[in-house]
A and B are shown apart, each in its own frame.
Chain A
């Protein structure tokens, strides 16, 4: 991991409530440039809300988010071209072909040589055979690779991934993980990864944050957490935290 002087993500006292119901209860963390940070937690723990606030899709009730040194509440437009994301809550327009979708997003992200970039992505993500097929007629694995191609279209310095391998078969999921590892090394990109797949998190992440009821219940390097909890793997640590036996970090 290489750390730049400015963190990729700096979150301070970040909170979000919906009609009095607390989704995120004042959390603080940073993600260095080049770091892969895992965001774990059960359903309703506040992971998606946290990611949405980092992306600027949800306005925090309190606290601040800085991405690559930019205040997302006031100057998000300055940094949106340097980040990207993949999430199960969004989709690619189904009637457009993969090539058309990637061309549109390349235009939105200001990619200079669109044809070359799409050819590179098609090569990297094994999409050449589906480039001219409608996005809605692809298999789940192909759709995930296309969504990843969209997320990488601008070679982002920060990549936000919400369940990137959910509902994929083990082989395709493994292939995606390998590609993410390669991308991070090649670009020194920071990645914030929300996932329920603990094996995936153990493999990809330098550090993890475990959220529970909108708070950070624990955090650390996966191997350190496993050792500290006296468990065999991160999944057992996660279960300890989820069931209320976490240790004070």
Chain B
């Protein structure tokens, strides 16, 4: 089945809402799932917060005092969780052997993707907003004080997270649940290459173009600029956004292509390893 066939038909927000409701029911029915949303970001925040406090006591570097560590950690977690939130909802369908029910229903592939994006945002809000608020009294770091640029950072990171999640979901559809490990690990390549905790200039010259090809690099550079000098870098945000338009478009095409390949290979009939 061609990509055009997968894209055919209208778009129903009612069907998106119906699927979102399914994931909300699931979250409500499972306190471990809810706890997991908050647990790891909270552990990260506390660890990096104390590390930053310690380094501040032993160093005069402006960056430490400005909250570069804890800010980087919060936005890194946002990036990781935007991808994971999307992927987890997708994997729930694989684990529940429900994918056939969905793909045989009137739900269009892009409506499925839209529902996964909504759930990614819901999971982010549930997991990261409380942790970001806790960072204020614990470590005196208020990420919300960044203001409007924060919304731009978040938008760019979430878009990139979704782009990665779409490719991972396509690979899991095509190759079965045995590929689910990618959902947990693939984003970690961005940790060194996206320069979450250090400037791009620190990388070897040959690696820097690769780093700049990743939208998160521009976001983390922009974050450091604001926190250390107060400078807002719209050029970086535009670069990140332009890259994201390309990444998200390509990832949707890849997802639909892999869905079509799954129909060709018959792998949608028996979802498993």
Q: Which residues of A contact B (CB under 8 A)?
A: 16, 18, 23, 48-49, 52, 55-59, 73-78, 80-81, 84-85, 87, 89-97, 100, 103-110, 134, 150
Contact = CB atoms under 8 A, between A and B. Distances in A.
Contact of A104 (B22, B260, B270): B22
A59 to B, nearest CB: 4
B271 to A, nearest CB: 8
A80 B8 contact: no
A100 B15 CA distance: 15
Given A57-B263, A93-B22, A107 B96 contact: no
B250 interface: no
Contacts of A90: 97-101
Contacts of B18: 103-108
Contacts of A49: 266, 269
Q: Which of A48, A55, A89 has most chain B Cβ within 10 Å?
A: A89
A103 B22 CA distance: 9
A108 B96 contact: no
Contacts of A91: 96-98
A87 B271 CA distance: 13
- Main SS class of interface, B: helix
A90 B103 CA distance: 11
Contacts of A77: 8-9, 106, 108
B5 A74 contact: yes
16 contacts: A23-B266, A52-B268, A57-B263, A73-B1, A77-B108, A90-B99, A91-B98, A97-B25, A104-B25, A105-B18, A107-B17, A107-B18, A108-B18, A108-B102, A108-B105, A110-B14
Contact of A57 (B25, B29, B100): B100
Contacts of A52: 266, 268-269
Nearest to A81: B106
Contact of B105 (A23, A92, A109): A109
Interface size class of B (residues with CB under 8 A): 35 or more
A100 B264 CA distance: 32
A150 B100 CA distance: 13
Given A90-B98, A105-B101, 9 more contacts: A57-B100, A74-B5, A75-B8, A77-B9, A78-B9, A89-B269, A90-B99, A93-B96, A104-B25
Interface in B1-37: 1, 5, 8-9, 12, 14-15, 17-19, 21-22, 25-26, 29-30
Interface of B: 1, 5, 8-9, 12, 14-15, 17-19, 21-22, 25-26, 29-30, 92, 96-108, 260, 263-266, 268-271
Contacts of B30: 95
A58 B101 contact: no
B266 A73 contact: no
Contacts of A103: 18, 21
Given A75-B8, A91-B96, A94-B96, A57 B269 contact: yes
Nearest to B25: A100
A77 B97 CA distance: 22
A178 to B, nearest CB: 25
A47 to B, nearest CB: 12
B22 A96 contact: yes
A109 B25 CA distance: 18
B21 A95 contact: no
A119 to B, nearest CB: 18
A80 B26 contact: no
A227 to B, nearest CB: 36
Contact of A58 (B5, B17, B92, B268): B268
